[in-house]
């Protein structure tokens, strides 16, 4: 067991501050965040060029240390040495909260293991900001961050989460959103979602509707800018709709139309969506 008193008592070590940065609007930077970045000895930045622009805007001259997913393993021991020597560090990501989709979590664990104080500052978080304006239930909710990129892995992920009652929050690249929604439609059915883009920026937009409605809109209005997805949790009614909406036979037929043989198409769809091949075979030929 460990008890941390963040602001009371003396410590020979420095403090690790986790400092959130704006997700698009520089006016969202807090006074405390600016003061902290000015007062610490070093700032650990995911991208020193990106953070450099932020520091310049607020006239902060604190020295930066590059700290990202590709060098974290080698950098953490050096950062711990600095903290043990009495230096205080601030860790920032490119936007939003540290430790979310960046290597900050590993640094936090290492610091805690060395009895070093870890202090988090409140501030901008894209997932929570979008959630409270989405219109979907804000609690309970589950935040998952970035989705698997490969279609098969993504489908398996959705199948595992399909029956969760919590509102779900995902980050996704604008270049993959349409394909992701197609996979989600296959597994979740035509559930209610909110696609949020350019959060806190001039072109901020909330697209609220069913998955099919959003897909139809995207077909006419290609997605631009950073985005995230808020997805309604499962309910008895949505589970019924999900089952009715999943049409694996049509997916088999599409592969056949593209030149695959029936048995080959059935094998591909069964493997991709984790289905019983024999049952899909019988379902396909019964319908035929």
pLDDT tens track for 26-51: 999 999 999 999 999 999 999 999 99
pLDDT at 243 (0 to 100): 47
What is the C-alpha to C-alpha distance for residues 7 and 216, in angstroms, rounded to an integer? 53
Structural contact between residues 13 and 114, judged by C-beta atoms closer than 8 angstroms: yes
Q: Which domains are delineated in the chain?
A: 15-124 (3.40.1010.10), 127-244 (3.30.950.10), 247-287 (no CATH)
User: Of 176, 166, 149, 148, which Cα lies nearest the Cα of 232?
Assistant: 166
Give CA 24 to chain center in angstroms: 16
Give CA 145 to chain center in angstroms: 2
Per-residue pLDDT reduced to its tens digit, 66-101? 999 889 899 999 999 999 999 999 999 999 999 887
Structural contact between residues 22 and 3, judged by C-beta atoms closer than 8 angstroms: no
């Amino acid at each position: 067991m460990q008890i941390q008193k963040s602001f009371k008592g003396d410590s020979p070590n420095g403090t690790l501050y986790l400092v959130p940065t704006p997700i698009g609007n520089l006016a969202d930077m807090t006074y405390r965040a600016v003061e902290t970045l000015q007062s610490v000895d070093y700032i650990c930045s995911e991208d020193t060029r990106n953070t450099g622009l932020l520091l310049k805007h607020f006239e902060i001259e604190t020295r930066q240390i590059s700290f990202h997913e590709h060098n974290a393993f080698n950098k953490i021991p050096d950062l711990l040495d600095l903290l043990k020597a009495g230096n205080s560090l601030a860790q920032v990501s490119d936007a939003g909260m540290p430790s979310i989709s960046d290597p900050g979590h590993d640094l936090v664990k290492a610091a805690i293991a060395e009895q070093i104080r870890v202090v988090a500052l409140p501030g901008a978080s894209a997932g929570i900001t979008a959630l409270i304006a989405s219109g979907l239930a804000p609690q309970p909710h589950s935040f998952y961050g970035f989705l698997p990129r490969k279609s098969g892995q993504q489908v398996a992920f959705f199948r595992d989460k399909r029956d969760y009652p919590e509102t779900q929050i995902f980050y996704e690249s604008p270049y993959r959103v349409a394909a992701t929604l197609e996979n989600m439609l296959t597994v979740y059915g035509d559930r209610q979602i909110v696609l949020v883009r350019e959060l806190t920026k001039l072109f901020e937009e909330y697209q609220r509707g069913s998955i099919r409605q959003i897909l139809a809109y995207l077909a006419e209005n290609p997605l631009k800018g950073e985005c995230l997805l808020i997805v309604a949790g499962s309910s008895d009614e949505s589970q019924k709709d999900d089952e009715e909406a999943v049409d694996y036979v049509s997916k088999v037929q599409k592969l056949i139309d593209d030149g695959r043989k029936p048995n080959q198409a059935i094998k591909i769809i069964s493997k991709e969506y984790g289905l019983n091949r024999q049952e899909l075979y019988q379902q396909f030929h019964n319908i035929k």
